[in-house]
Every structure is written in structure tokens, then in C-alpha cells.
Amino acid sequence: MNPPTSIGIIGKPHQELTRTTVLDLMRFLEARGIEYHLDRDTAETCEVDQWIAKNQLVKQVDLLISLGGDGTVLGVARLLVGQSTPILAVNLGRLGFLTEVKVDQIFEVLEEVLAGHYRVDHRMMLCAHVHRRGECFGSHTVLNDIVINKGALARIIELELMVNEQFVTQYRSDGLIVSTPTGSTAYNLAANGPIIHPSLTNMIITPICPHMLTNRSIVIPADGVHLSINVKSHSSDVMLTLDGQVGVGLQTDDIIHISKSDSVINMITHPNKNYYAILKEKMKWAEI
């Protein structure tokens, strides 16, 4: 791979470990004469004066370092839609499915990356377009999942699922998760969905507390497939949530159209880690 020459650093704000790690990173990069940029929140957390707005930052760098948890990576990924800039995701706390590099491995891994010795995994994303009375009023791209769910007060919501214009089923449930393979180990897993290898190009459809007991997770191809979900419920308390981070209020008869994004996210992989080792550690499969 090409060695990066300009690096963006985005950290979880208001964390002491972010501050010290970023300051170490800055020294490391300065010593090697490599340009770097911080976004505003990260700069403020580190008491550094210079920053660039996030959406500008991502256009000026050829490597992005994400410091934090899986949530930090999800936010960075949404900024990168349409770009091929790779992400080096470092966890500041415990191992995440998206953050396989530990903070004390950062310089060792970065040396390799700066020498062009690294591999990237391509992760598919999903696009959601929300239509109300025939007009699109919102478009969102996610790395993990698109969730439609009820508020705390609503009793149940009804959602109609179509795949490529064909009616599949009507869910009466707390909600519905449409997940990427990357997102399969997030909310999908809590809702009893399967683990899907992140190299696959699939959509995973998992109902949340379905009243029809035969409703199960369905895994379908993502290429050439177009889902639409029709909000049949008359509740005023239905929400669309993107990657667990962005919320959009929904109304009866809104339709959410979901398809594979043209963009992929390029995640730099840890040379000594692999998916199954991370899975085993996160799922505690080694224990007896």
C-alpha cells in the first residue's frame, strides 16, 4: 500500500487518555516529518490551538487515526462516505470489534503503516433513504445498522418488509434491525441475530421482540437487492436510528428504502490479529 503522507487524528473527546495519546502521536509524527491534523473536539481535548473542521479534515489526509471505541470509528466512517482513506482504529479501552489495535501497540503498528506495510479490509455500508408522502426527506449511510424502533411508551409497531418489490412479511414487534456484516456483532447480536463474517456482502434483517414467534433473522444478498420498510403503525413514537448515533422521527406510512452503499470503508487490520481471534476474545469462547 502507499505510505501515508498526511494523517488526520480524531479522538474520543474529554478523555485524559485521548489527550496523552494524541500528544505522543504528535511527537512521533513530528519526529518523522509527517504532516497531521486534528479536528476541533480532539484539539480542544488536547489543548492544542490548531484544528480543521471534521468534514474538511477527512479530505486533506490520506490516513485517519481513530482513537476511542467502536462508536468513535462509526462516526469517522460516516464522515468518510465516498472516500477511500483508510482508518487505523485504536481502542483506548477494551477491545472492540472495530478497534483491534491497543493503545500500547499504536507506534509499532504505525511504523509498519508508514512503511506501507499494511493490509486493509473493505467493509460494506448500507444506505437508507426515508420517504414521506412520495418525497425523500433524508439519506444516511451506515457502517453498522439501520434500526427502526418504538419509543418507551408505544406498545408495538407494525412494519411491512418488501424485498425487490416483493412482500416478505409484516412484523409486529418492538422494531427491526437491518445490519451490515460489520454490525452483526452489535445490536443484532443482542436481538438474537447471527454473527456474520465482515468480509461478506449481505444484509441481516432481525426483528426486535417479534410477537410472531416464527420470525427469525434473515440473511440476504446486498448486491442488487433493494429493501423497503413501510411504517404501518399508528404510533407517534417511532424512530429511525443510524449506527446507534443519529435519530430521525418517523410517521405512519413513511417508507425506508435500504440498499448497499457504493462506498466501502477501508479498515487497516492488525498484522497479528484476525477476525476469529477477536471474536473468540469478545465472546469469551476461550473460557470454561
Q: Which residues are annotated as a binding site for NAD(+)?
A: 70-71, 144-145, 155, 172, 174, 245
The footprint of its own copies on this chain (CB under 8 A) covers a number of residues equal to: 60
Question: Does 100 engage in binding with its own copies (CB under 8 A)?
Answer: no
Q: Which is nearer to its own copies, 75 or 193 (CB)?
A: 193
Question: Does 218 engage in binding with its own copies (CB under 8 A)?
Answer: yes
Q: Which is nearer to its own copies, 95 or 103 (CB)?
A: 95
Name the residue among 134, 158, 173, 84 with its Cα closest to residue 257.
134
Q: Are strands 63-68 and 6-11 parallel, antiparallel or unpaired?
A: parallel
* Minimum distance, C-beta of residue 18 to its own copies, in the bound complex (Å): 20
Residue with cell 414467534: 213
Q: Which is nearer to its own copies, 137 or 285 (CB)?
A: 285
Contact status, residue 22 vs residue 135, Cβ threshold 8 Å:
no
Active site residues: 70
Question: Does 20 engage in binding with its own copies (CB under 8 A)?
Answer: no
Q: Which stretch binds its own copies (CB under 8 A): 6-14, 107-115, 116-124, 216-224?
A: 216-224
* C-alpha distances in Å from residue 65, one per residue of 112, 115, 276: 14, 16, 23
Binding mask 113-152 for its own copies (x = CB under 8 A): ------------------------------------xxxx
Question: Does 234 engage in binding with its own copies (CB under 8 A)?
Answer: no
Q: Which is nearer to its own copies, 56 or 192 (CB)?
A: 192
User: How would you label 144-167 residue by residue, b for 16+ Cβ within 10 Å and e otherwise?
Assistant: bbbbbbbeeebeebbbebbbeeee
C-alpha–C-alpha distance, residues 229 and 167, integer Å: 10
Among 130, 163, 256, 268, binds its own copies (CB under 8 A): 163
Question: Does 251 engage in binding with its own copies (CB under 8 A)?
Answer: no
Which CB contacts under 8 angstroms, 24+ apart, belong to 244-248? Answer: 244/71, 244/74, 244/144, 244/145, 244/147, 244/186, 244/187, 245/71, 245/74, 245/75, 245/78, 246/140, 248/130, 248/138, 248/140
Tell me the three cell numbers of residue 225.
Answer: 437487492
Q: List residues near its own copies by CB under 8 A.
A: 94, 149-153, 155, 163, 166-170, 173-174, 187, 189-197, 199-200, 202, 204, 208-221, 237-239, 241, 244, 247, 274, 276-277, 279-280, 283-288
